[in-house]
Chain A
Amino acid sequence: MTDSTKSIPFRASAAKAVRDRGLRAALQHATGVFTVKRADAFAGADLELWRNEASEIRVQVLSRLEDYLGRFTANATSAGAQIHRARDAAAAHDIIGSILRDHGIERVVKAKSMVSEEIHLNDYLSRIGITPVETDLGEYIIQIAGEHPSHIIVPAIHKDRRQVGTLFSEKLGCTYSEDPEALCKVAKHILREEFLSAKAGMSGANFMVADSGSIVLFSNEGNIRMCTTLPPLHIAVTSMEKIIPSLSDLPKFVRLLPRSATGQVLTSYMSVITGTRKPGEATGAQELHIVIVDNGRSLIVNSEYREMLKCIRCGACLNACPVYRTVGGHAYGSTYPGPMGIVYTALLEGMEKAHPLLDATTLCGACGDVCPVRVPLPALLRRLREERVERGLTPPSERFGMAAFGVAAKSPSLFQYGQRAAGLFWPLAVKMAGKEVLDRMPVPADRTFRGRMS
C-alpha cells in the first residue's frame, strides 16, 4: 500500500505494467475467458429485468440502511451470533484482536474477504502475534508471495503457472511443477492440516439477511465451508452495505452474482449460516461473531455517491474495463482495482490519495453495461472528476487550458484563432507535449472545414 498522505502514482505504475508482456498476456487471457463465460451464462436470460429487480432491492436497503442493520442485528443475535459494529479499520482490529486473544488463538484459518484486505487485517494480526492462514488457493499464493490481490475474484490473476510453480518450490519446499492440478494438491494437503487443527476460522460474507439474521457465503473451493464449520469459533468480517431484506430476495442475487463473477450458474457452494450450533445440531460454530465494518460507508450512503454501495463485488466491471485489462490490479495501488475500485478508493481513502486513479478510465461505459445491480459507474467516475476539478487537484496547466477553452468556446472568432494557432505552432506543440501524445495525432488541415464552408 502507498503512504496514505501521498497520491497514488498511477501513470508510472500503469506504464510499467504495460511493458510487462507476461502480465498483459495473463490479463488478456483471464479477462477474455471471463467475458465469454459471463455472456454465455446470461444467454437467454431476461438480464435487464434481473438487473432492475436486484438494483431496486439494493436501493431500497440503502435508503434505510440503519433500519435494516438493526433488524439484522436483532435477528442474528437471537439466532446466537454476536454482532459488532466497527467504525473504522482500527476499531475492527481491536474487536477481532480481542476476540482472538480472549480465546487464546495463535493461528486462524481465513477464507477470502476483500473487507479484511481493505482494513489490512493480516498485517494487524501478524503484529499482535496471530498467524492468519489464507486458505483460498489464490489468496494462499498471494500470501506466501507476500503480495496483495490484483483482482477481487481471482487474487492471483497476474501470475502464470510457472511463477506459481517456482513460488511453491521455493517457499514450500516441494518439487517444482507447473501443473495446476499438482500445485493445487500441494496446497490442499498443507491446508487440510490447518483446517482440522484450527481453533478459529474467519470469513467475509457476501450478504447479510435482515429478516433471518443469516449470512450468505459463496465459494468454489470449499475452503469457506471449512473455515465456517470446522473450527468452534467463526468470525465473519463484512461491510455494512451488504444487506438484503429477506431470504426470499436471495434468489434474485443468486442468479446474478456467480454468473457475473465467473460465468457460473452457481458456485460449487453457497452456504446460508444462521447463528450458532443449536442443541441437537451437529453443524455450525459454537461461537459466531459478525463484525460489520463502516470505514466511511455511512458517509457515502448519505452522499450523491450512494449508488456505489449497491455493488455486490462480482468483479465484472474489472473484466470489462479496457484499462484494467491492460494494466491489472496492482497498478491501482489500492485494495479495490478497476472501475468500482476507483470509486471506492476515492470515497474510502480520500481524493488527495486517489485522484490520479480518476485518469484510469476512458469513460467507455463498458463497466456500467455489465454491472448486475446497475451501479452507474461511468456517471460516478465523471462526477468524481468534477469533484477533483472543484478541489483544485488537476495540474495548473490543464486548468489554464480548460479556462481558455471555456472562453474560446463562447466566441467563434477566438475559437478559430485558437485553431489557426494550433496549426501554426503544431511542430512546437509536438516537441513540448512529447512524442507519446502528439506524434499520434495528425497535423491540422491547411484549411478548416469552417473555412471550406464559407
Chain B
Amino acid sequence: MRVQLFGTCLIDTFYPETGEATVRLLRHFGVEVDYPRGQTCCGKPADSGGYRRESKKAAEHFLSVYGKSGDPIVVPSGSCASMIKNHYPELFKDDERLRDTARSVAARVYELSQFLVNVLRVHEAGLIGRGRITYHASCQLTRELGVTEEPLLLLQSLRGAEFIPLPDADRCCGFGGVFMAKLPEVSRALAGEKAQSVISTGADTLTGCDHGCLMNISSAIRENGSDVQVKHIAVVLAEGLQ
C-alpha cells in the first residue's frame, strides 16, 4: 500500500520530528510513503481568517500536487485534514474546472489516527507505551471530522502505558489559528485553563492530533512550571515501535 503524506506547515517548520515519527509508523506497518516535493500549505490559516481568495490559491496548489494520484492522503493534523476534506469541496463548488478534483481529493484524505485505526488497525498491534498519558481532543478533529474514537483506541491499546481521560477534553484550548495572534490575552487564558486541567490529571504526557493546539497548551504548561511532556500522537506511537 502506498500513501501520499501531507506534512503540514507547523510540522514542517517547528516539529520535523513529528513528521519523521509519522513516516516511521507508516513504514513499520508496511506502507510506502510518498512525500510530494511540491507541497506547501493547505490554506487553513487564510481560510479561517476570511481570506477566501488566498486560501483558494493554496487549495488550488494542493490539488495540483495531490490531484493526480489515487492513493490515500495522510495528514497528521485534524484541522488541516478537515480543511481539505470539508472546506475544499465548498471552496470549489462553483468551479467547473476543479470541483470534481476537490471532491475526489477530499475523499482520499485521512487524518493520521483515522488511517492508523481504520485502515491499518494499529490499535490491535500491541504497541508499547510508557507513563501516564492524557489526550486533548482538538476542535476540528472532533467536531468537523467527527474523529473521536480513533485516538482513544490507539492510546488505550498501548501496553505499559496508563491512559488518563482529560476532563472536558474537547473544550477549545484557545489556539484557533489567527485567534492566538488576534486575541492573545483570551487565548492565553484558555490555554491556561486547559493546562490546569492537564496538570490535574497527574499525567506525565499530554498528546493530541494537532500541533497548533499542542503548541498553545505546551507554552501554558511551561508557564505553570509543570514538566508534563507534550507530544504529538505520532511521536507517542512511534516510541512504541522500538
Contact = CB atoms under 8 A, between A and B. Distances in A.
Nearest to B139: A364
A453 B183 CA distance: 35
Interface string B29-51: 00000010111110101111111
B185 A409 contact: no
B60 A410 contact: yes
A405 B45 contact: yes
Contacts of A452: 16, 19-20
A406 B54 contact: yes
A362 B13 contact: no
Contact of B46 (A384, A406, A434, A454): A406
A415 B179 CA distance: 23
A276 to B, nearest CB: 48
Interface in A400-454: 402-403, 405-412, 415, 419, 422-423, 433-434, 436-437, 439-445, 447-454
A322 interface: yes
Interface string A388-406: 1100001000100011011
A369 interface: yes
Interface stretch (B110-118, B127-135, B148-156, B167-175): B167-175
A402 B46 contact: yes
A303 B176 CA distance: 27
A362 B139 contact: yes
A14 B185 contact: yes
Contacts of B48: 363, 382, 385
A361 B46 contact: no
B186 A14 contact: yes
B41 A409 contact: yes
Interface residues of B, number: 61
B184 interface: yes
Given A365-B140, A365-B144, A422-B13, A386 B171 contact: no
Nearest to A24: B189
Contact of A406 (B11, B14, B51, B139): B51
A403 B220 CA distance: 31
A265 interface: no
Contact of A453 (B35, B189, B191): B35
A18 B143 contact: no
Interface string A357-396: 0111111111011000000000000101111110000100
A382 B50 CA distance: 6
Contacts of A436: 184-185, 188
A212 interface: no
A445 B43 contact: no
Contacts of B4: none
Contact of B14 (A365, A410, A415, A442): A442
Contacts of A299: none
B143 to A, nearest CB: 4
Interface string A202-240: 000000000000000000000000000000000000000
A112 to B, nearest CB: 28
A409 B61 contact: yes
A155 B57 CA distance: 45
Nearest to A411: B40
B215 interface: yes
B176 A18 contact: no
B97 interface: no
Contacts of A451: 16
Nearest to B220: A440
B7 interface: yes
Contacts of B184: 434, 436-437, 440
A449 B12 contact: yes
Contacts of A415: 40-41
Contact of B174 (A322, A445, A449): A322
Nearest to A383: B50
Contacts of A18: 185-186, 188-189
Nearest to B58: A409
Contact of B13 (A363, A419, A439): A419
B68 to A, nearest CB: 16
Interface string B50-91: 111110011011000000000000000000000000000000
A327 interface: yes
A113 interface: no
B181 A409 contact: no
B190 interface: yes
Nearest to B50: A385
A398 B50 CA distance: 11
Nearest to A420: B13
Interface of B: 7, 11-16, 18-20, 23, 35, 37-41, 43, 45-54, 57-58, 60-61, 139-140, 143-144, 171-172, 174-186, 188-191, 193, 215-216, 218-220
10 contacts: A14-B185, A369-B143, A398-B49, A405-B51, A419-B13, A423-B13, A440-B180, A442-B14, A444-B14, A450-B35
Q: Which 10 A-B pairs have the closest CB atoms?
A: A385-B50, A362-B176, A406-B54, A409-B58, A449-B19, A364-B172, A365-B143, A436-B184, A449-B16, A364-B139
Interface of A: 10-11, 14-15, 18, 24, 322-323, 326-327, 358-366, 368-369, 382, 384-389, 394, 398, 402-403, 405-412, 415, 419, 422-423, 433-434, 436-437, 439-445, 447-454
Given A363-B179, A385-B49, A407-B57, 19 more contacts: A18-B186, A18-B188, A323-B183, A359-B182, A360-B183, A361-B176, A361-B179, A364-B143, A403-B54, A405-B46, A406-B54, A412-B37, A412-B38, A444-B14, A445-B15, A448-B13, A449-B7, A450-B37, A454-B37
